Amino acid sequence: KARIFSGVQPSGTPTIGNYIGAMRGFVQLQDEYDATYCVVNQHAITVPQEPKRLKEMTRELAALYLAIGIDPNKSTIFVQSDVPAHTQSAWLILCHTGLGELERMTQYKDKAQKQEAVNAGLLAYPALMVGDIILHDAAYVPVGDDQRQHIELTRNFVDRFNNRYGDVLVKPEGIYPKAGARVMSLQDPMSKMSKSDANERGFVSMLDTPNQITKKIKSAVTDSIGEINYDKEAQPAIANLIEIYANLSDKSTDDIVQAYAGKGYGPFKTDLAELVVSVLEPIQTRYEKLLSSSELDDILHDGAIKANEQANQVLARMNKAIGIGY
- In the complex, minimum distance from the CB of residue 191 to ligand AQP, in angstroms, rounded to a whole number: 9
Among residues 195, 218, 306, 320, which one is catalytic? 195
Neighbours of 284 (CB within 10 A): 16
Choice from 36, 58, 88, 147 touching ligand AQP (CB under 6 A): 147
- In the complex, minimum distance from the CB of residue 291 to ligand AQP, in angstroms, rounded to a whole number: 19
111 is catalytic: yes
Neighbours of 141 (CB within 10 A): 24
- By CB under 6 A, residue 49 contacts ligand AQP: no
232 is catalytic: no
- The β-bridge partners of 3 are 34
- By CB under 6 A, residue 150 contacts ligand AQP: no
- Residue 76 neighbours by CB under 8 Å, 6+ apart: 35, 36, 37, 303, 306, 307
258: left (phi over 0), alpha (psi -120 to 50) or beta: alpha
- By CB under 6 A, residue 22 contacts ligand AQP: yes
Of 11 and 161, nearer to ligand AQP (C-beta) is 11
Choice from 146, 169, 239, 280 touching ligand AQP (CB under 6 A): 146
52 is catalytic: no
- In the complex, minimum distance from the CB of residue 80 to ligand AQP, in angstroms, rounded to a whole number: 11
Among residues 192, 218, 251, 289, which one is catalytic? 192
Choice from 183, 244, 272, 311 touching ligand AQP (CB under 6 A): 183
Give the range of 8-16, 159-167, 265-273, 283-291 binding ligand AQP by CB under 6 A. Answer: 8-16
- Residue 211 neighbours by CB under 8 Å, 6+ apart: none
Among residues 55, 111, 232, 306, which one is catalytic? 111
Q: Long-range contacts for 296-305 (Cβ within 8 Å, ≥24 apart)?
A: 296/59, 296/62, 296/63, 296/66, 299/62, 299/66, 299/72, 299/77, 300/62, 300/77, 300/78, 300/79, 300/82, 302/72, 303/72, 303/76, 303/77, 303/78, 303/79, 303/82, 304/78, 304/79, 304/82, 304/83
Choice from 4, 5, 17, 290 touching ligand AQP (CB under 6 A): 17
Tell me which residues touch ligand AQP (CB under 6 A): 8-9, 11-12, 15, 17-18, 20-22, 143-144, 146-147, 181-183, 192-196
The catalytic residues are: 111, 192, 195
